[in-house]
Every structure is written in structure tokens, then in C-alpha cells.
Structure 1
Amino acid sequence: MELDVLHWSLKAYWTLEEAAQICLGLEPLQAPEGEYAGNSVGLPPGVPMAVEELYDSICRAQVMGDLDCREVNSTFVVRPLALLDWCYLHGYVFGEDLAYEIEELARIKAGGSPAKAGDGPVTEPKGNDLNLKERESMVTIIIGMAVANYGHDPKLQRNGTAKKLSQI
């Protein structure tokens, strides 16, 4: 069954079981009451192996605090935008249409106008964020390159290197 993108994008939260299926573009299967006990990963019977693997990753992220989840009535849930950010960060597949609807809703809730053609996404992949040590290392490398290749002298107040670089 095809995923109802509009329906799921408007939900305030998804269970982790729903999230794994929705993320892969599948309409979530609903297990009859009491049927979860026989399935070791907590998913209804009949879901593809890719869903089980993603569900396992989502559960591990929840346990480690890497994914912002909440417990509601003994069930862990995740907000769609939080899952979308997590998927971008960790390179997991997320349906384009659903991602667009979630981002569009976030843009509107934030007081922005609906997106127009050519607008960038509300959430950018966070995989390029650097921690403090990585940032300091990168700055050191860049300064080293500027000194070695362009004659930059970090001790001078004013330096001709910027002018030289702008003429390249």
C-alpha cells in the first residue's frame, strides 16, 4: 500500500515502529493486539528486512539519546522533523515528498510563508557540523596553507595576502 504522505506529514508524532516504515515510504502495517510478542524487534509481522534494520537503528539512537524521542503511554514516539533531521545526519533514506511536506509544515509553523520554487529546505543536513576540536584543527590547517602557499604572516596587523588572493 502506498504511503499517504499528507496524512503522515500532519501527524504530531510517530511511534518508532511507524517511523521506520514511513521513512522507507511504506504505509505502516498495524499488528493486531498482542501480536508484537512473537516478533523480536517489536514490528508487526510481514515488514521487509530493511524496515527491521532501520527500526533497530532508530531504537539504538533513542537509547543513546541521539534521536529526540518521548515516552507516551509506555510507547516511544518521535516528531517527524526530528526524525528527518536524524536521517539526514546519518545518511538514511527519507522519501522526498514526505520530507518536503514536513519541511513545509515546519516553515509555516515557524511563521514563514509557504515555499516557492527554488527555495532551500528548512532543515539542512547536519553531517557537516564540526565540533570545537575539528573546527580548531581546520583553522590551523587553513592558516598553515595560507602561510606556506600565499606568504601570509599571522603576526602582522595588516597583510597583503587577502589582496593577493582576491586577484587570483
Structure 2
Amino acid sequence: MKNTILLLFFMLVMKLCAQNSSVSGKVFFKLDSSALPGATVLISGSEIGTQADYDGNFELSGLNQGKYDIIVEFVGYGKDTIKNVVLKKNSDLHIDLGLPSGPCYQFTDSNKCPIDGSSKNVIPIIYGLPGKKLMRKMKKGKIKLGGCEVTGCEPNWFCVRHQKEF
């Protein structure tokens, strides 16, 4: 009987201390409001986190009441921290998280140098394993070799005069 009462007491305490609050929302790109599937959403200073689904939606559940800093990041885009997000006991908070443009958006498809606006001394940057033909073009200064690994965030042009990739 004593053990049963003790067990009931511990179950009641666990129920009262349960982590029932959650944060959910959508991660999007601030420039055009497009969803960012796969973006990472983390509670700062903890191991609690998730990834946004195909539509950019996320949910962090099982949180205690308190004040949190939420970090959102996505490869190729900026990183943002939303500070002092307050969760009340048994609450469901909805926040949308917009990311600024990151390093990929400094590059352009235009072959005009960003420094002087001229396309006179601009050559294309070529990626991949070069053959003999590309090596000859590189030696003549007609192209610049960018390397073999491609992430989708590479510059397309090189200004010879200003030694600037863009």
C-alpha cells in the first residue's frame, strides 16, 4: 500500500512538471517569401532542434515554460536569432522565421564587373574537371577555373582587372 501511494505521488509530480509547451511556424526567405525546406531551427544552448519540412513548417514540442533564444539557419542563406521568446506553461506559440539573403545572393548572372560596370575584362568561371581544351583556354586567359566541387553557391564571372569573382 505504501509503495502504491508513493508511485501515485511520483506520477502526479511528473504530470505537474510535464513539458507541454511548443513553438511552431514557418521558415521562409525574406526576399521573396518562399519556403525554406530543410532549414534548421534550434533552441540556443540546448540540443533541442528540428528541420523544416517540404513547405518550410517546423515544430519544437515538449518545452518547459521559460525564455528562449531560437536560432534559424539554412545553407546558402543568412542566419538569424530570435531572442527572448517567452513560453508560458502549456502554451503553443506560432512564429514565422524569415531569413535574409546569404552569400549566394551576392553573385549575379550579369557579366558586368560590380566595381566599374564594364564587361571588357570579364571572363567566365568554369567548374568541374578540365580537359585539354579548357586548360588551353585557361592559359590564354579566356576562362578561370573554379574547381571541381560545386555547391550551387559559386560565382559565375571573374573580373581580371579588379581580381574580383562575382
Q: Is the shorter-chain TM-score for this pair beyond 0.5, marking a shared fold?
A: no
Whichever of the two has the greater Rg, that structure is 2
The structure with the greater share of residues assigned to helix is 1
TM-score (norm 1): 0.23
The structure with the greater share of residues assigned to strand is 2
TM-score (norm 2): 0.23
